[in-house]
Amino acid sequence: MSLLNNPRTRRRRLGVGAAALGLIAALFSAAPAGATPDPGDSPAAPKSVSKSDAADAKAAIKGGEIPAPDEIVHSDNIKHLANIPKDALPGFNTDLAFQGKYAFAGNYDGFRIYDISNPKKPRTVSQVLCPGSQNDISVSGNLLFLSTDSSRSDNSCNSTTQPATEKSSWEGMKVFDISDKSNPKYVSAVETACGSHTHTLVPEKKNVYVYVSSYSPSATFPDCQPPHDGISIIKVPRKAPQKAAVVDFPVLFPGEGPDGGGNPGGPTNPGVSKTTGCHDITVLPSKDLAAGACMGDGILFSIKNPEKPTVIDQVQDNKNFAFWHSATFNQKADKVVFTDELGGGGGATCDEATGPERGANGIYDVKGKGDHRKLVFKSYYKIPRHQAATENCVAHNGSLIPVKGKDLMVQAWYQGGVSVWDFTNSSKPKEIGYFERGPLSTDAIQLGGSWSAYYYNGYIYSNDIAKGFDVLKIDDKRTDPAERVRVRELNVQTQPDYFD
């Protein structure tokens, strides 16, 4: 691990680790030559599009239908306050977490900590080189958690890529001590079956439970065997994080056969992902509930006992959902928004041909009480602005905007930008604001755009895969009441009770 300090301010799935616990970070006053990602963590090359699609993109720009490359457009109620380009960590930017005056930003090459005490002028506090896709990130107290979801030679931040077919390969969770934000220290690592694509914290006073989501097992992978039909649960003692360990692997999709009881995918359900694990889980600790987006299935489950979660309801959408990606509760926990990551985040699916119901959000009402609750589909929501054939665009990570009596959300759509929308009427969702850039290219699909867009203490923060860290401000009577709501810490997949 290298800590890259830079006083100036300036993706999505792979993994890594650090040899010794309590590794001392190497400090640099500027971006060092050592901040070079391992070749195995490099993004795929841009995908060429047809000449006709490229011509259509250029014509749409010329006609004013979409912004030009690097041009920024937004609704009248949104202002763009700041952008910090990528610096010493050149990989894809990924997820965000918040604590006090700090924002924590994941990157395929490590993570970066920002001081956002002045949102108009955020500044870099530290950058940590620790390659590994996708470096999904969260914080709790003095601990920072980082997901590794690609096979590595060991659990060090100096590891290299290694085939998953080799038994010695490592992937899983890393834990850092961030009591000194300018000098994070690597504390421990926990290997988990099939790695950690994402993770979700269930924090308690003495311990932090970590729900690890991972998928895509293979009989050729010694540490990722089918059926992989559950989640790993890690218990991290706050006072002894070096003792972090897996305490259980609850099966969420019990069933007969080698693949368990999840969605079988194609050819039974053409175009739908087979369920071999979960992609993302969101917990609502105040209600002892969790919602899982699990490839071919959406689930609602109880976390009354955080070590023994139990499924309450399981739903599928074999017509319009290709890959259940993430979930968001409304404040009352009587609705869940599930996202469909059609095309895996690399496809141009926000076009007229794909339509408004694929690559969208699915809004579900939660009906009933206790363990008899059911998820009932109500409608889809997709951004109303068509994007070019060279823009990867699909529903992605977002959060609630806390306004009593309203269900408002801000959400990332990759190169579709950032959308603010209202689902108070779950049958008639509508957009109320947006921010976006023009395409990265008019000749090829280059992975970019907003990975995560979250509302935190009066501002919207977006981690753009290619362009860096953005700060937005929305000025709208519908969202203004949220400015009075403050939280000390925000991991969006651990939803707070904003009004308690």
Tens of pLDDT, residue by residue over 314-346, are 999 999 999 999 999 999 999 999 999 999 999
Distance CA 491, CA 244 (A): 20
Q: Determine if the peptide bond prior to 267 is cis (ω within 30°).
A: yes
Helix locations, 71-129, DSSP H: none
> What's the mean pLDDT when you consider all of the chain?
91
Distance CA 421, CA 419 (A): 6
Two structure tokens written together for 422 = 């209202």
Tokens 């965000």, located at residue: 96
- Contact (Cβ atoms closer than 8 angstroms) between residue 267 and residue 235: no
One-letter amino acid of 2? S
C-beta neighbour count of 168 within 10 angstroms: 11
Note the pLDDT tens digit of each residue in 362-378: 999 999 999 999 999 99
- Contact (Cβ atoms closer than 8 angstroms) between residue 440 and residue 448: yes
- The percentage of the chain sitting over the pLDDT mark of 70, rounded to a whole number, equals 90
The pLDDT confidence band at residue 6, using thresholds 50, 70 and 90, is very low
Residues recorded for the chain: 500
One-letter amino acid of 476? D
pLDDT at 260: 76
First to last CA, the chain: 39
Which of these, 381, 373, 435, 368, lies nearest to 407 by C-alpha position?
381
Burial class of residue 268, CB neighbours in 10 A (0-12, 13-18, 19+): exposed
Strand 2-4 relative to strand 26-28, pairing: parallel
**253 pLDDT higher than 50:** yes
pLDDT, mean of residues 100-119: 98
Which of these, 176, 228, 241, 231, lies nearest to 199 by C-alpha position?
231
Distance CA 424, CA 319 (A): 25
pTM of the entire structure? 0.92
Note the pLDDT tens digit of each residue in 30-40: 222 223 333 34
